[in-house]
Amino acid sequence: MKKLDLQTKIIIGLASGIAAGFAFNFAGGANNEILSAWVFPLLTFVGDLFIRLIRMCVVPLVFFSIAEGVANLGDVGKLRSIGVKTFAYIIVTGIISAGLGVFLGSIFKPGVGAVLDLGNSVTSIAVETPNLYGVLLGFFAINPFEALANANMMPIITFSVFCGCAMLLAGERGNAVKEAFGNFTAVVGRIVDIVLKITPYGAFALIAGTIGKFGAALLGPMLKFFVLDWVGLIFIQAILFNLILLVLAKANPLKFWKRAVEPWIIAFTTGSSNSALPVNMRLADEMGIPNEISAFVLPIGATANMNGICCYLGLLAVFAAQIYNIPLSFSMLAYIAFECVVLAIGTAAVPSGGVIMATTLFTVLGFPLEIVAIVAGAYKIIDGIHTATNSIGDLVVSTAVAAREGVLDMEKYNDLTQSQLCGAEDPEAVLNG
């Protein structure tokens, strides 16, 4: 009997989790004493364990891979070219995504006529309002070791780039360090391969627990908002991403999406782009994206490229303005879109990070925070699709940058037979290489 590949196991785990979640919700969900006392804590433990194991790999993988990737570029001029293209894609697609959210909110008006019971919702939350200069300063760590210990990704990325540049400039000594970094990257990659074996169980636990607790939340007054949010993100994935692949990368989107299923599911179930990062880095190689491109673009994308969150924030701001009858001029709408992109770049890729960014955005705009508090209660329902959009966007940007640099291996990109997703995942093969 043929062994199931990892992708099939993940899909089975996800489908089983959805079915189990609705069964738990039908049985009373969080109000069921047995489920609350025994089942949900167990699911939470398994899901949290999976996320911790994935995140355990992220910091060393990002640090070593970026530094090695920069060192492999050969010269600093190439780094400048790739960096400019990367951030151009991130900023432009972020503005388009935020603009789409603002557009959907303005056209379909989900907040007009809404009657929400604000009850005792939180009315104020103390946050530090970021500005452009603050965001830029946050890219640089006073103590890089502290950033590594705290998993503060943007300073880690910046420090990694400096390390890679130093290797380029150090000549023969730099080559020796680069080789060591490459070995560390390979070892961490093997750890990732082992951890990914439990992905089907992690997907089951995370989805089953979420739906079991919040499955009926979509029936509330936020339904229209949630539906519009999903519509916007599906549009970004189906239209914007495919246009980038077709027009800028000159690549077949179908070939891309056949590989992208695995990181999409992982991002969807964990709610963290960093959790899907190890899989994206593996797939980049399978897709013909050179390591010096993927090792630089993907970690930056996992932290700064937030198309899903940008769309959500734009839609949420318009939604709240309609509920509170706050008039929004065209210039105000444009400002909202700009702030969404700044916040997305400056906020860490953590589960439910959209709630943090929404709180900050509303503080910047001077909007009441009740709506943020209400959405936060059911945010897990839409968090997954946000993160999946963000994560797949990172892989799209990497493909586009590689293509524009003229280094995308189209033969490898079009050859699906070499993909690990198509073959059986043998634990011994993973351990023995």
pTM: 0.70
Report residue 196: phi and psi, to 5°.
-65, -15
CB-CB neighbours of 216 under 10 Å = 13
Tell me what the mean pLDDT of segment 147-158 comes to: 83
The answer on pLDDT for 63 being more than 50 is yes
CATH classification for the domain delimited by 6-423, as one of 1.10.1610.10, 3.40.50.720, 3.40.1280.10, 1.10.3860.10: 1.10.3860.10
Of the two residues 96 and 329, the one the predictor is more confident about is 96
Q: 47-51, 260-264, 376-380 — which is least confidently predicted?
A: 376-380
Give the Cα separation of 433 and 431 in Å (integer).
6
Best CA proximity match to 317, nearest among 295, 291, 346, 339: 339
Looking at the chain, the whole-number percentage of residues with pLDDT higher than 70 is 83
Q: What is the pLDDT of residue 429?
A: 38
Helix axes 253-270, 380-404, angle to 10 degrees: 140
The answer on pLDDT for 31 being more than 90 is no
* Burial of residue 379, with CB atoms counted within 10 A of its CB: 0-12 exposed, 13-18 middle, 19 or more buried: buried
Of the two residues 256 and 425, the one the predictor is more confident about is 256
- At 404, list the tokens: 């524009």
* SS percent in the chain: helix, strand, coil, step 5: 80, 0, 20
Query: What residue type is 334 in one-letter code?
Result: A
The answer on pLDDT for 120 being more than 50 is no
CB-CB neighbours of 125 under 10 Å = 14
Confidence of residue 192 (pLDDT cuts 50, 70, 90): confident
Confidence of residue 370 (pLDDT cuts 50, 70, 90): low
The answer on pLDDT for 122 being more than 70 is no
The answer on pLDDT for 290 being more than 50 is yes
Confidence of residue 3 (pLDDT cuts 50, 70, 90): confident
Tell me what the mean pLDDT of segment 216-243 comes to: 82
Confidence of residue 332 (pLDDT cuts 50, 70, 90): confident
* Burial of residue 72, with CB atoms counted within 10 A of its CB: 0-12 exposed, 13-18 middle, 19 or more buried: buried
Give the Cα separation of 289 and 254 in Å (integer).
17
Domain ranges in the chain?
6-423
Distances 349 to 28, 47, 73, 153, 384 between C-alpha atoms, Å: 32, 18, 26, 8, 12
Q: What is the pLDDT of residue 276?
A: 82
- At 47, list the tokens: 């899901």
- At 200, list the tokens: 């089907």
Judge contact between 308 and 390, C-beta under 8 A: yes
Q: What is the pLDDT of residue 351?
A: 53
